[in-house]
Structure 1
Amino acid sequence: MLRRILKTIWWFLLLGILTIYIYLGLATFTSKTVIAAVIKLVDAPGEIVYRSQQKLNDELGNYWQVILFKQIHSNSNQISSINLRLVGFPGSQELAHPLPLKITSDTGKVLTAPDIFLDEAPAPTIGQYDFKDVLPQLPTKDLLIGIPVGRQNFINLSIPKYVVQEWQEVAIKP
């Protein structure tokens, strides 16, 4: 009799453990983990930098590091720049300089951000664009960025809504 009770308890314990494993396994498939953080750095005496950094892939499957950063002179609270830097991982196409970045909203509105590297970039797969005038005009929706790889050729990079929201958080930091 005791043996039967212990066997029943053992089966309930195993069933409980199995249920927990199944629940945790399904939860990992249904939830999206988003680690969004705006980082504050003190770059030099009197200069503060707010930064958002993401790793996204383009339409060809190549990964890009997408960094939006705002530099502020802390003694005057004056914004010196808001830039978007794109860094292509190995295998990414070379960027054409000094062509502007093309930003398309979900409504079809097209904005352009001028290239900061007018002459030469630090590496062929690095681009940096002036976002000071563009950022206030961006909707809080998914965007499509056209990265210039030739006079008329672009590689599209989808920017999810949560990244745009993070960029707008950078914009409002004091």
Structure 2
Amino acid sequence: MKTVLRLIGSTFILAMLVWALTINLAIAPSQAAIRQLEEAPGQMVYQSRQTLKDQQGGSWQAIAFKRIRPDDTAVIYLRLVGFPGTAEIDHSQPLTLTDSMGKTLTAADVSHDMFTDKAQMEPDVGQYDLQPILMQLELAMPLRLTLATLDQPEIILNVSPDVVGEWQSLTVQK
């Protein structure tokens, strides 16, 4: 009788574990997917959107995107957007990307591509050219992004290796 009760108890516990695992897999957040948009006839945009935290715990939207123009030229940019009043980005400085081994790369600020009039430029939005450096980033290493600001110490954003991999996957989008 004790053996039967133990078997029933063990089976019940195993069934509960399988059920809990199934529920967790069903509601676990999925990795963000690359989004595809047609901005205009013949002009495609592929995007990866992530939320990154700065050293103060503030949230930043990180949108890595590849734009393919009708003439088949392509650019890959990273747009960083803070909440209004978060920081005033210094657009005269590049974005600095540093991996966990200390390798440092820079991405040129191309925020002027977003706005035709400099007066329209949002102080808490920066856009950077990732194309020349994207494939130099190591997939297995986290990154630290450093944003120069005009009104406070630099902003530091941490990026996981999974996000770096998603950004690099933009290069194969056609």
Q: Structure 2 CA distance, aligned partners of 1:63 and 1:51? A: 19
Q: Structure 2 CA distance, aligned partners of 1:148 and 1:138? A: 21
Instruction: Decide which of 69, 81, 85 is 1:87's aligned counterpart.
Output: 81
Q: Structure 2 CA distance, aligned partners of 1:168 and 1:120? A: 33
Aligned length: 160
Instruction: Report the 3-state secondary structure (helix = DSSP H, G, I; strand = E; otherwise coil) of the residue aligned with 1:67.
Output: strand
Q: Structure 2 CA distance, aligned partners of 1:67 and 1:89? A: 14
2:31 is aligned with 1:35: yes
Contact 2:87 2:149 in 1 (8 A): yes
- The AA in structure 2 aligned to 1:97 is H
2:163 equivalent in structure 1: 163
Contact 2:87 2:151 in 1 (8 A): no
- The AA in structure 1 aligned to 2:73 is Q
Q: Which structure has the larger Rg over C-alpha atoms?
A: 1
Contact 1:57 1:64 in 2 (8 A): yes
Instruction: Decide which of 70, 73, 97 is 2:69's aligned counterpart.
Output: 73
2:138 is aligned with 1:134: no
Q: Structure 2 CA distance, aligned partners of 1:113 and 1:138? A: 12
Instruction: Report the 3-state secondary structure (helix = DSSP H, G, I; strand = E; otherwise coil) of the residue aligned with 1:98.
Output: coil
Q: Structure 2 CA distance, aligned partners of 1:91 and 1:58? A: 14
Instruction: Decide which of 88, 94, 100 is 1:106's aligned counterpart.
Output: 100
Contact 1:121 1:127 in 2 (8 A): no
1:24–1:122 CA distance, 2 compared to 1 (3 A): farther
Contact 1:98 1:116 in 2 (8 A): no
Instruction: Report the 3-state secondary structure (helix = DSSP H, G, I; strand = E; otherwise coil) of the residue aligned with 2:111.
Output: coil
Give the alignment's TM-score, normalised by structure 1.
0.77
CA deviation profile, 1:28-71 (whole Å, cap 9, x unmatched): 5xx96343200111111111111000111111100000000011
Give the alignment's TM-score, normalised by structure 2.
0.77
Over aligned residue pairs, what C-alpha RMSD do you find?
A: 3.3
Contact 1:97 1:120 in 2 (8 A): no
1:157–1:121 CA distance, 2 compared to 1 (3 A): farther
- The AA in structure 2 aligned to 1:51 is Q
Q: Structure 2 CA distance, aligned partners of 1:120 and 1:57? A: 28
CA deviation profile, 1:52-107 (whole Å, cap 9, x unmatched): 00111111100000000011135x5332x111000002452221122110000121
Instruction: Report the 3-state secondary structure (helix = DSSP H, G, I; strand = E; otherwise coil) of the residue aligned with 2:135.
Output: helix
Percent identity (aligned):
37
- The AA in structure 2 aligned to 1:122 is M
Q: Structure 2 CA distance, aligned partners of 1:32 and 1:59? A: 26
